[in-house]
Amino acid sequence: MIYCFSPLNKFLIKVKKYMISTSDFQKGIVIKIQSEPWMIVNYEYTHPGKGASFVRTKLRNLKTGKLLERTFKSGERFEEVELEFRKGTYLYSDRRNSVFQLKESKERISLPLELTQDKIKYLKQGSEVDLIYIDGKLSDLNIPIKVDLKVAESPPDFKGNTAGSAFKLVKLETGLNVEVPIFIKEGEIIRINTETGEYVERVSQK
Amino acid sequence: MMENWEKIYFNPKLKKIQIQRSRINQLIRAFFKKRGFLEVETATLVKCAGQEPYITPMNVSFEDERNRKYKGYLITSPEYSLKKLLVAGFEKIFEITKVFRSNESFGGIHNPEFTMIEWYRARSNYKEIMKDTEELVCFLNQKINNSNYLIYQNKKINLTLPWPRLTVKKAFLKYTDIDLDKCQNLKNFKKEIKRNKNLKDLVNDNDDWNDIFCKIFIDKIEPSLPKDRPIILYDYPLPQAALAKRKNKNSFYAERFEVFIAGIELANAFSELTDPKEQYNRFKKEQNLRKKLKKEIIPIDKDFIRALELKMPPSGGIALGIDRLQMLLLNIKDINDLLLFPAKQIFNKS
């Protein structure tokens, strides 16, 4: 098991050094390449007609923010970067930054919006997050893989709509638009996969 | 999440994809029939699967009526069988068949079970097959989309004939400044890479020749290929062409080509290797590589070698992924939205 799947249950975890292979790749894992910490932003298996399998990977340097595309051979191994996680909650974002509060110290701390914009669309005020520290410096955040959000706006469904489409677009309380089955109504809570941005299931009926 | 048949139940408009797929396959058959090809059916359950070290066949065990046990494989390609038919005397043949491969992704442009068309021309070579391929795709797009242009994922691709062709050697020179002539063995390949600032980080100490080739190909060549036209890359270095004929006796290149449209690898073709001794040696080499990679040892198809000994006519042949072709023609990004029962929905129930 890789450490950063769900560290949400502890305030602070120091992680031992692991060697991980390409088959352990997950979005959010941080690996060491030439002693720099690179977070996996995206990855895709590719298997050319004649040749081994490869993983085409998009990485972000956690120190410099630089993006890099790199292809690894399946099975290549990497040293995992020692990270610290601190539990926090999301407060708000302005035009430049997203602001969080550390659970333990109540200290407020911010990250630039370009690092957080893909994630805050799944967060509402008070949502729990893991703040990632490298060498004592706040570098990134992890959000849960599944979040529950309320449907804020939904187009009314009229009779006979089933012949048209099985899905409709709704707006969630965070402003995010997602496709959901037509039986979902305004005010209902639904579960969203934050890796794919897709609807998973209905959580409750109101 | 819903399965595809359920999605169709809720949204009958989705039937159209399946109707179009069926139409595409009918048109493919019509295309080859008109050109005098015979459609054949070979076995999908075989004793000797493909040898290629990086393609993993699926094992099958079964019994006969006396409970005698047999071990076999599902084909990864109908290639060996079709070539035996060339030796038998069939001159222009094609087959549309299901093939099976282990270690593939469930989605994107991969599925462990997929549909392949292979066609072969006796007394011919890969140049003829290139023509067949571009004409087939153009013909289908005319019939399905009524145009010389293909719109795929908001990219407009001009299919007008003839398609651009580029040798692999030129592609490497053009996009990476690497001269493959100087990279005929692992040591020299690594030496060339070290000279190139953009490439040296890419390569690992443990990489073999093919690993380096593929990494550069995936990282540097594929993304640089023109996006508004299909492209035929041809004449691959020998280590990348196990069943292809050499360009000439001492050449480092073999007559293999691949077709890329919108970055998707659509088809792979050869002027077929017909020399039984060289074929046997290449099989042995691949078997050794499988051993080294700690992969299952697959018996060499001795019947196939025997067929070559009876003399196979010089031939050209190709394998083209029909699902990928359908995705391109119908503008579908993920194979899971194309197939009625994708493996992801069958096996990956969450």
The reply to whether residue A166 touches residue B2, judged by beta carbons under 8 angstroms, is yes
Contact A17, A31 (CB under 8 A): no
Q: Six-digit token pair at A147?
A: 């979040």
Length of chain B (residues):
350
pLDDT digits (tens, 9 = 90+) for B218-265: 989 998 999 999 999 999 999 898 789 999 988 999 999 999 999 999
Q: Is residue B160 part of a domain?
A: yes
Instruction: For residue A89, give the 3-state DSSP assignment.
Output: strand
Nearest residue of A to residue B109, measured between CA atoms: A46
Mean model confidence pLDDT for chain A: 81
Interface mutation target, options A21, A22, A43, A50, chain B, most CBs of B under 10 Å: A50
Query: How far B25 CA lies from chain A's nearest CA (Å)?
Result: 23
Q: Is residue B211 part of a domain?
A: no
Tell me which H or E stretch contains A138.
Answer: strand A137-142
Q: Is residue B236 part of a domain?
A: yes
Residue type, B162: P
Q: Which one, of B238, B306, B225, lies nearest residue B270 by Cα? A: B238
Q: What is the count of structural domains for chain B?
A: 1
Residue with structure tokens 């609807």? A199
Is the pLDDT confidence value at B92 over 90? yes
Is the pLDDT confidence value at A12 over 50? no
Mean model confidence pLDDT for chain B: 94
Q: Is residue B13 part of a domain?
A: yes
B241 chain-A contacts, CB cut-off 8 A: 50
Q: Compute the 3-state secondary structure of chain B and give helix, strand, coil in percent, each to the nearest 5.
A: 40, 25, 35
With a CB-CB cutoff of 8 Å, which residues 94-123 of chain B face chain A?
A: 103-105, 108, 110
ipTM surpasses 0.95: no
Q: Is residue B45 part of a domain?
A: yes
Query: How far A36 CA lies from chain B's nearest CA (Å)?
Result: 13
Any A CB within 8 A of B82 CB = no
The bridge status of strand B38-39 relative to strand B92-100 is parallel
Q: Which one, of B271, B274, B258, lies nearest residue B320 by Cα? A: B258
Distance of CA A68 to the CA centre of its chain: 18
Q: Is residue B191 part of a domain?
A: no
Taking the C-alpha atoms of residue B136 and residue A141, their distance in angstroms, rounded to an integer, is: 50
Q: Is residue B206 part of a domain?
A: no
Among the partner-chain residues A45, A51, A69, the one whose CB lies closest to the CB of B214 is: A51
In CATH, what number is assigned to the domain containing residue B250? 3.30.930.10
B203 chain-A contacts, CB cut-off 8 A: none
Is the pLDDT confidence value at A64 over 90? no
Among the partner-chain residues A52, A56, A166, the one whose CB lies closest to the CB of B211 is: A52
Contact A144, A163 (CB under 8 A): no
The reply to whether residue B10 touches residue A166, judged by beta carbons under 8 angstroms, is yes
Q: Report how many helices (DSSP H) and strands (DSSP E) chain B contains, helices first.
A: 11, 13
**Residue range(s) defining the domain that contains residue B100:** 4-164+226-347
Taking the C-alpha atoms of residue B34 and residue B36, their distance in angstroms, rounded to an integer, is: 5
Q: Six-digit token pair at A118?
A: 């893909």
Exposed e or buried b per residue across A26-38, where buried means at least 16 C-beta atoms within 10 angstroms of its C-beta = eebbbbebeeebb
pLDDT bracket for residue A18 (50, 70, 90)? low
Q: Is residue B9 part of a domain?
A: yes
Q: Six-digit token pair at A191?
A: 């579960």
